Amino acid sequence: MKNSISALSLFVIFSCGQKENHQINSERDSTIEGNVFAQIAEIEKVQASDTIHLKYYTNSNTVIIKTGNGIERKFDKKEFNKIIDAHPEFFDEVIQSPDILYPMYGKGFGSEAGQDTYCLLYTHFLKQRNTGAEKSEQRRILTDVYLNINSIFSYLSQGGTYFGHQESRLPAEAEYSIYINSDQDNFTDQYDILKQKKLYIQSLRQRIEDEVKTDKALTAQEKIERIRKLNEFVDKINHLIINTFYLRCTQHFQFKYY
């Protein structure tokens, strides 16, 4: 009887061991299978990212890129396709701002003028994601607002190359502003922005008055004329800011660059 119990116990232990081994092997096989599928998915993702830029190749002898503020640049076919090959960051699944991308990937463009060209290309490719009538309207308004902001501070600083380069680069900033807000309803305000907008416009006018009045190089009459001229830019901005989206973008652009 005792021997029978021992044999039965051994049989149970052996059976449990077999069951545990089978379970371990199944889990190991599932893990291996899962890893294989994950590796395949990652390879396919890399392959897709390596070829996604191909659709942007041109067959034309010349590519002309224009922006809404009159900036224009021509590229020949070889040059344009070479840029596409060299700059996959323009086609990433998630696009970063031009201020982040240029220091990382734009060194080959060299000078300040080279950064202008990089921003032009950035604008060109991102614009192809920001499609539709609504985004076209956002592009028009933001570009106009940013131009007026740049003009105000150019006047206050007596001009300079910085503002000339900014005029070339601000379409890229406008395009990025549209892109990062593309999942939001940018034409419906959650609350009345009238008071915030009024305060912002007042702050611009006050900034102009304070800086012009302390400019010792201007006569009293010149100061009056300068303030009047600069307030014309503010009037345009005031007219263009019609909702929270434009107000936030305008404030961000000004405080970031000026």
Contact 122, 168 (CB under 8 A): no
Query: What are residue 110's phi and psi, to 5 degrees?
Result: 75, -110
How high does pLDDT run on average in the chain? Answer: 86
For residue 136, which of 127, 144, 145 has the smallest C-alpha distance? 127
pLDDT tens figures, 127-139 = 999 999 999 999 9
Please state the φ and ψ torsions of residue 179, each to the nearest 5 degrees: -60, -45
Cα pseudo-dihedral 138, 141, 142, 148, rounded to 10:
180
What pTM does this model have? 0.79
pLDDT tens track for 84-93: 999 999 999 9
